[in-house]
Structure 1
Amino acid sequence: MGNIYTTQPELVEQLQKKMDKEKFYRFFGIRMANEGDGYDLAGERRHEIRLEQGPQEQLDEYGKSISVAESRPIGSTATPVSWLGGLSPVERLGNPGTVADLHRRCHDMMPQTFDGFRLSVNRTLGSYLTVGHTLHAGNKPQTMDCQFNCSYQGDQQSELTGEPYPMLISEVDARGNVSANLMHFIAPRWRAKLSATVLDSMVHNSRLFIDYFGEDYSCTCVLSNIDVMQRMGVFVASYLQQVTAQLALGVDIIYQREDIVPGGQAALVSAVARYQQDNRQWSGMLSMHALELCYTQFYGQSLGASVQLQANILKRQAISRLCYHCHMPAAGFSFRGGIDTRGVISAVCEKRLEPLPILLQLSGKMNHLSSRFRFGVGLILG
């Protein structure tokens, strides 16, 4: 696949400087979105493995018939519920999931906006392999990109989480940069994830996740950007315990050893908690430098709303968001909207154009303080 434009070394250098700057802030607290308008391509929704087998034919979010897989967060302590995530009463203690999924219900309601035009063409080759192309043309030459993606899904399924495995997702762009994610259950209760990005012939953001799912608890170990020769990297250990049918408590420990950290090394301990009752859920994470609180509530099977509060003492910043999600499977329609304390309003509307296998996306984002507006149109074929 030929390049649509030449490689620009200065863009790679700027991106590397930005990554080094954000490493320090991400360690000491929550990565805030107060800088600019938040129109960063790195903020797009990441690839997440959230699949569960469905024994009977159902309608997905856009009204398309599905009979094999349906998305939902893993580690639920209750019986399976709708895709929107409605919380049914917990019948017994179960695995609480991982700390990384603590705020998943709240984050899934946030609209992931984009600007310009985006076209995605996907095709399934057999039962396990899917390939596709994505073309994104923004209002700046730097945002123009063309990607080829490929995913493989195995025929085995975890009895604990309902995830199919092994699973491999990879992408390559016109510059030759490659990103890949691998997930596999090495044992019935042991899950391993490996992700890496090759940027300008150098490996960046390499991470290894090891999860253990107990009867009513979970443990996670993460190794990020480990460099044995220079003795640098990030180590994360987390533990989440289901205390009662509604309450889960845990702890998250981060140890970082890099040159950008004052003193060369630092450690951070955070306390996490989650409480759910009927159709409501509260979750929080507290450390000496940062605070994140989330509240999610569902109204029936088609409407949900969430509130998020983030505070970073180190950067002296705080932000609050109100988001909602409405979807009508029979009409093939989905809408996500949100507003925050910066005066930024964002929304993403998705509509399946039956009987064609096309999903139309409309994205908008406006900052009332700076009077900036971005609009995007997307088409997904397949």
Structure 2
Amino acid sequence: MGNTLGLAPMGTLPRWSHRREEPLPNPGSFDELHRLCKDVFPAQMEGVKLVVNKVLSSHFQVAHTVHMSALGLPGYHLHTAYAGDWQLSPTETQQAKFLTWQFDGEYRGDDYTATLTLGNPDLIGESVIMVAHFLQSITHRLVLGGELVYHRRPGEEGAILTLAGKYSALHWVATLNVGSGGAHASYYHKANEQVQVGVEFEANTRLQDTTFSFGYHLTLPQADMVFRGLVDSNWCVGAVLEKKMRPLPVTLALGAFLNHWRNRFHCGFSITVG
């Protein structure tokens, strides 16, 4: 009896032979490196604030803001926004001269982001402020990059270089910025869908100051409530409670902050409609 040699068709090759590595994700922008940790901390509140947002159409929206505070005079702000290509008249903007101008450019590749910002460049006066950012995804979890800040004006010139790194795991994110101007480190941890915590450390070499902060974020979905709190090394304790008044488009917020070192206390209450 002779030997029989069987060949498998090309379409039936083992699955591992067609395995391809997934492309690296885009790292995002440099300003968003510490965003997850910062969103855990409560925002400072003082006085009473009423915010009413109204979308009149797909091109036009209006916002009213009333703020009353014991630290300053009460104020009212009206903000209108129009998005479209219809110019009512040439006098909508001041076209006589430039007071300040800035150029921003950002390019996002498949696994990297490059950003360049020029502020008030003056070729005659030889003055400019330039900020360059670059982030590169090394792996699916590791991101490395840096920031270069350069400024020049008559009689003065300088540059500050900052290196950055970010490591993202399944339930936590660690970020570090180190440069000649100081250091900024943050750690974000998501315990579950309701509890999130963040730890932040900042050191400024120019001011000779360091700050250590701990924040937590608690979500109560059944009650439509969000609670944020913080404790830092400056003996400051604060918390903000937000409550959505469903089915109405109204959000209530109550916050209080106490600085034991400076013996200062302030609280705030806000209502947001829309």
Q: Shorter-chain TM-score: what band?
A: 0.7 to 0.9
* Distance in 1 between residues matched to 2:207 and 2:35, nearest whole Å: 24
1:116 aligns with 2:47: yes
| Other-structure match for 1:148 | 78
Of 232, 238, 247, the residue aligned with 2:133 is: 238
Of 145, 153, 161, the residue aligned with 1:269 is: 161
Q: Secondary structure at the match of 1:141?
A: coil
Of 119, 125, 130, the residue aligned with 1:224 is: 119
Identity fraction in percent = 29
Structure 1 residues 161-215: Cα deviation after superposition (integer angstroms, max 9, x where no partner) = xxxxx9xxxxxxxxxxxxxxxxxxxxxxxxxxxxxxx9xx9956x5432111001
| TM-score between both structures, scaled by the size of structure 1 | 0.59
Of 263, 282, 285, the residue aligned with 2:177 is: 285
- What does residue range 197-346 of structure 1 map to in structure 2 within 5 Å? 203=99, 207-258=102-153, 263-346=155-238
Counterpart AA for 1:370? R
Counterpart AA for 2:68? A
Q: Secondary structure at the match of 2:37?
A: helix
* Distance in 1 between residues matched to 2:251 and 2:83, nearest whole Å: 23
Runs of 5+ unmatched residues, structure 2: 1-21, 86-93
Deviation at 1:120, TM superposition (A): 0.5
Deviation at 1:130, TM superposition (A): 2.2
* Distance in 1 between residues matched to 2:83 and 2:242, nearest whole Å: 26
Structure 1 residues 115-172: Cα deviation after superposition (integer angstroms, max 9, x where no partner) = 1110111111123432111011111335x32211234568xxxxxxxxxxx9xxxxxx
| Other-structure match for 2:61 | 130
Counterpart AA for 1:253? L
Total equivalences in the alignment: 243
Q: Secondary structure at the match of 2:258?
A: strand
* Distance in 2 between residues matched to 1:228 and 1:347, nearest whole Å: 49
Deviation at 1:346, TM superposition (A): 1.6
| Other-structure match for 1:104 | 35
* Distance in 2 between residues matched to 1:152 and 1:329, nearest whole Å: 35
* Distance in 1 between residues matched to 2:65 and 2:37, nearest whole Å: 27
| TM-score between both structures, scaled by the size of structure 2 | 0.81
* Distance in 2 between residues matched to 1:207 and 1:339, nearest whole Å: 37
Deviation at 1:224, TM superposition (A): 2.6
Q: From the superposition, tell whether residues 296 and 123 of structure 1 become closer, same or farther in structure 2 (CA, over 3 Å).
A: same
Greater Rg by CA: 2
After the TM superposition, which of the residue ranges 115-124 and 356-365 deviates more from structure 2? 356-365
Deviation at 1:110, TM superposition (A): 1.8
* Distance in 2 between residues matched to 1:335 and 1:285, nearest whole Å: 28
Deviation at 1:281, TM superposition (A): 0.4
Structure 1 residues 345-371: Cα deviation after superposition (integer angstroms, max 9, x where no partner) = 121111012233211111211101122
1:354 aligns with 2:261: no
Structure 1 residues 25-76: Cα deviation after superposition (integer angstroms, max 9, x where no partner) = xxxxxxxxxxxxxxxxxxxxxxxxxxxxxxxxxxxxxxxxxxxxxxxxxxxx
Deviation at 1:232, TM superposition (A): 2.8
* Distance in 1 between residues matched to 2:265 and 2:186, nearest whole Å: 27
* Distance in 1 between residues matched to 2:98 and 2:50, nearest whole Å: 28
Structure 1 residues 295-334: Cα deviation after superposition (integer angstroms, max 9, x where no partner) = 0000111221110100111211100110111223442211
| Other-structure match for 1:191 | none
Q: From the superposition, tell whether residues 354 and 236 of structure 1 become closer, same or farther in structure 2 (CA, over 3 Å).
A: same
Q: From the superposition, tell whether residues 92 and 299 of structure 1 become closer, same or farther in structure 2 (CA, over 3 Å).
A: farther
Q: From the superposition, tell whether residues 225 and 304 of structure 1 become closer, same or farther in structure 2 (CA, over 3 Å).
A: farther
* Distance in 1 between residues matched to 2:162 and 2:261, nearest whole Å: 34
Counterpart AA for 2:223? A
| Superposition misfits of 4+ residues, deviation over 3 angstroms | 151-154, 201-204, 225-231
